[in-house]
Structure 1
Amino acid sequence: MHNEDIPLYDGPRELAQSLSAFARISAAESHWNQEGLRADSEYRDLGLAAVTNGRIGAKHIRALKPFTEPTGWHWHDMTGHYLYVLRGSVTFHFAGIEGDVTLNAGDGLSQPAGVPHNVMWRSDDLEVIEINEPAVYGTWDLDVPPAPWK
């Protein structure tokens, strides 16, 4: 398929002038750690932050321990937040959205960036790929559930 529109930048580009760096992330060389938001999970950096100068972050996240209670209402100061479920399932509540939002293996979600949410449940075998813009962001807890969950 060829696009007939005007390109976003002059191209093609030489590798040295690319808009993101070339990098191959090897599973054998990418180590798991517990340096994420949840103590019941472990995280593996997929290298996008390094090759995009922090514009985009990507993590492979997997459950370590059983999920015992909802995470509580919180929000992240990011401009984009995407989730793809590799294994298991997860259920959210989102501010402004009534009912459960459940994702199963093979499902993806453009999680509304900056919108409060609460992870209500996840399977013990959950594995996801999470992509966010920017790579580094803050997380804030809410004291009171937002509508329609008040």
Structure 2
Amino acid sequence: MHNEGTPRYDGPRQLAQSLSTFARTSAADTPWNQEGLRADSEYRDLGLATVTNGRIGAKHIRALKPFIEPTGWHWHDMTGHYLYVLRGSVTFRFAGVQGDVTLSAGDGLAQPAGVPHNVMWRSDDLEVIEINEPAVFGTWDLPEPPEPWR
């Protein structure tokens, strides 16, 4: 699709006027850490927060330990939440969605931003790419399951 419609901004642009920063991320420069939501996983920042001035965050997440129990119902104050499964599988439940939602390697999911969910199960070899808007967000637990899961 070339030359269809009107561009969103005047372009082309010079590198100095780009809307995001040029940056290459290498595995050697982005170590794994356990500074994420779950103690049974480790995280690697893919650098989008820096180049988008915090508008978008991206992490490579992988399982470290066996999954013992569901995460519990919670929600994140994001405007966008996307997941792509690289390896293994994961099962969610979402408020307002009937039935379990299972993703396997090669599957993607646009999680409904701000909607409560519960990770019910994941394989011991799970690896995902998670992209969220904004890069920094809060997470809140629910005191009880939402409909239709009560």
Question: Normalized against structure 2, the TM-score is what?
Answer: 0.99
1:72 corresponding residue in structure 2: 72
Counterpart mapping for 1:1-150 below 5 A: 1-150=1-150
Taking the aligned partners of 1:87 and 1:130, their CA distance within structure 2 comes to: 13
Partner of 1:81, secondary structure, is strand
Which runs of no fewer than 5 residues in structure 1 stay unpaired?
none
Taking the aligned partners of 2:117 and 2:29, their CA distance within structure 1 comes to: 33
1:76-134 CA-to-partner distances (Å, cap 9, x unmatched) read 00000000000000000000001010000000000000000000000000000000000
Taking the aligned partners of 2:93 and 2:4, their CA distance within structure 1 comes to: 41
TM superposition outliers: structure 1 runs of 4+ over 2 Å: none
Report the residue type matching 1:24 in the other structure. R
After TM superposition, give the deviation of residue 3 of structure 1 in Å.
Answer: 3.0
Question: Normalized against structure 1, the TM-score is what?
Answer: 0.99
1:40-64 CA-to-partner distances (Å, cap 9, x unmatched) read 0000000000000000000000000
Which runs of no fewer than 5 residues in structure 2 stay unpaired?
none
Report the residue type matching 2:137 in the other structure. Y
Partner of 1:99, secondary structure, is coil
Taking the aligned partners of 1:49 and 1:29, their CA distance within structure 2 comes to: 15
Taking the aligned partners of 2:47 and 2:97, their CA distance within structure 1 comes to: 32
Taking the aligned partners of 2:98 and 2:39, their CA distance within structure 1 comes to: 28
Task: Number of aligned residue pairs: give it.
Answer: 150
- RMSD of Structure 2 on Structure 1 (CA): 0.5
Query: How many percent of aligned residue pairs carry the same amino acid?
Result: 86
Taking the aligned partners of 2:3 and 2:144, their CA distance within structure 1 comes to: 48
